[in-house]
Amino acid sequence: MKTLEQSYTIVDFNIMNNKTRRKLMGIGAQVCAYRESIMDLKNDLEDIRNDEEEKYENLEYAEKAYSMFVEALKGGATTRACIFATRHRPATELLMKLMEESGLVSYVGKVNMDREASEALVEDGADISAFTTFGWINAVKDKFKNTKPILTPRFIPCCTDKLMEELREIQMAYGIPVQSHLSESPGEIDFVRFLRPDNAFYGDAYNDYDLFGKNDDINTDVKTVMAHCVWSTPEEVELMRKNGVFVAHCPASNMNLSSGIAPIRKMLEEGVKVSLASDIAGGSTLSMMRITAMAIRMSKARWLQTEKQDAPLTFPEALNSVPHTTSGRLSAKS
Residue 9 has pLDDT above 70, yes or no: no
Average pLDDT, the chain: 84
Q: What is the pLDDT of residue 44?
A: 52
Q: Report DSSP state, residue 222.
A: -
Average pLDDT over residues 292-309: 95
End-to-end CA distance of the chain: 48
Give residue-wise pLDDT tens across range 45-78. Answer: 567 777 889 999 999 999 999 999 999 999 887 8
The count of C-alpha atoms lying within 13 angstroms of the C-alpha of 196, restricted to the half-sphere facing its C-beta, is: 22
pTM of the model: 0.85
Q: Determine if the peptide bond prior to 281 is cis (ω within 30°).
A: yes
Residue 250 has pLDDT above 80, yes or no: yes
Whether residue 318 contacts residue 328, with contact meaning beta carbons closer than 8 Å, is answered with no
Please tell me the distance from the alpha carbon of residue 314 to that of residue 240, in angstroms, as a whole number.
Answer: 23
Nearest to 106 by CA among 126, 128, 78: 78
Q: Can you state the percent helix, strand and coil of the chain, rounding each to 5?
A: 45, 15, 40
Beta-carbon contacts of residue 268 (< 8 Å; ≥ 6 apart): 2, 3, 4, 274, 317
Give residue-wise pLDDT tens across range 97-133. Answer: 999 999 999 999 999 999 998 899 999 999 999 999 9
Domains of the chain: 10-319 (3.20.20.140)
The alpha helices in the chain, defined as continuous H runs, are 30-35, 43-54, 59-74, 89-102, 126-140, 161-174, 186-195, 202-208, 234-243, 251-256, 264-270, 288-305, 315-319
Please tell me the distance from the alpha carbon of residue 296 to that of residue 316, in angstroms, as a whole number.
Answer: 10
The DSSP bridge pattern shows strands 246-249 and 273-276 to be parallel
Backbone dihedral angles phi then psi of residue 80, each to the nearest 5 degrees: -140, 145
More confident residue, 147 or 9: 147
Kindly report the number of other CB atoms within 10 A of residue 160's CB atom.
Answer: 19
Beta bridge pairs of residue 324: 80
Identify the helix (H) or strand (E) that includes residue 226.
Answer: strand 224-228
Identify the helix (H) or strand (E) that includes residue 153.
Answer: strand 152-153
Backbone dihedral angles phi then psi of residue 188, each to the nearest 5 degrees: -60, -45
Residue 185 has pLDDT above 60, yes or no: yes
